[in-house]
Structure formats: C-alpha cells, structure tokens
C-alpha cells in the first residue's frame, strides 16, 4: 500500500487578527477520515516540523485535516481537506488488440 506526506505552514495569527508566535504553538493534530467515516486522530506534530508522514494507509478515499493547538489550550478550526485515493491493486493490463495469424502451408 502507500503512505502520504502532509506539509503545512503554521498560522501566524489568531482568529481575532492578533499575532500567534511560533513559541505559542504547542502541537498540530492530524486527522484522517476514510471513505466518509468519522475522522480519527492519526498523529501529532509536536514541533514546527511542518510535515507529517502517515503510516501505511488502507485502500479507500482518505480525507486529511489538521488542527493547531496553542500553549494556552486553545485549538483552531480544522484546516482545509486534503484528499487522496489509495487503490487496492494496479489495474489489469489492456488486452492485445492486434493478434493475427498466418497459415503456413
């Protein structure tokens, strides 16, 4: 199967427009919703690493979001959604369409 590496930029403001310093960000929680089911937390980025790589994903449509947590216990709304589709297997090869025969007397 496959993994996904998510990349992001930490926010620099709060919802009221005031500054959000990097030192005020405690963590970023990563969520995955598979095939439209309820999202589950699959990981946390503790630093301003700005990337997260999933474990091996099951087949299906995965919708990822992230939530920022500050050092005072406040959390952001979910981020935009990133969607990827993991297929179960490669498709079969196309059939031969030019098979021909010649009689050999």
Domain assignment of residue 19, yes or no:
no
Is it the case that residue 48 has pLDDT exceeding 80?
A: no
Tell me, yes or no, whether 75 lies in a domain: yes
Could you tell me the pTM of the whole model? 0.81
Q: What is the CA radius of gyration of the chain?
A: 22
The verdict on residue 44 lying in a domain is yes
Q: Which domain holds residue 35?
A: 25-86
Report residue 1's pLDDT band, with 50, 70 and 90 as the boundaries: low
Q: Specify the length of the chain in residues.
A: 105
Q: What pLDDT score does 99 carry?
A: 87
Cα first-last separation, the chain: 52
- The answer to whether position 13 is within a domain reads no
Number of domains in the chain: 1
In a domain, 71, yes or no: yes
Per-residue model confidence (pLDDT) at position 88 = 81
How large a percentage of the chain has pLDDT more than 90? 76
Q: Give yes or no for a contact between 19 and 12, defined as CB atoms under 8 angstroms apart.
A: yes
């Amino acid at each position: 199967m496959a993994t996904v590496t998510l990349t992001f930029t930490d926010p620099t403001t709060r919802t009221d427009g005031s500054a959000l310093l990097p030192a005020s960000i405690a963590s970023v929680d990563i969520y995955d919703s598979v095939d439209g089911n309820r999202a589950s937390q699959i990981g946390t980025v503790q630093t301003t690493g700005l990337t997260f790589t999933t474990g091996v994903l099951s087949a299906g449509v995965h919708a990822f979001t992230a939530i920022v947590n500050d050092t005072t216990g406040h959390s952001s709304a979910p981020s935009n959604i990133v969607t990827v589709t993991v297929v179960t297997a490669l498709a079969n090869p196309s059939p031969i369409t030019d098979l021909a025969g010649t009689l050999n007397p």
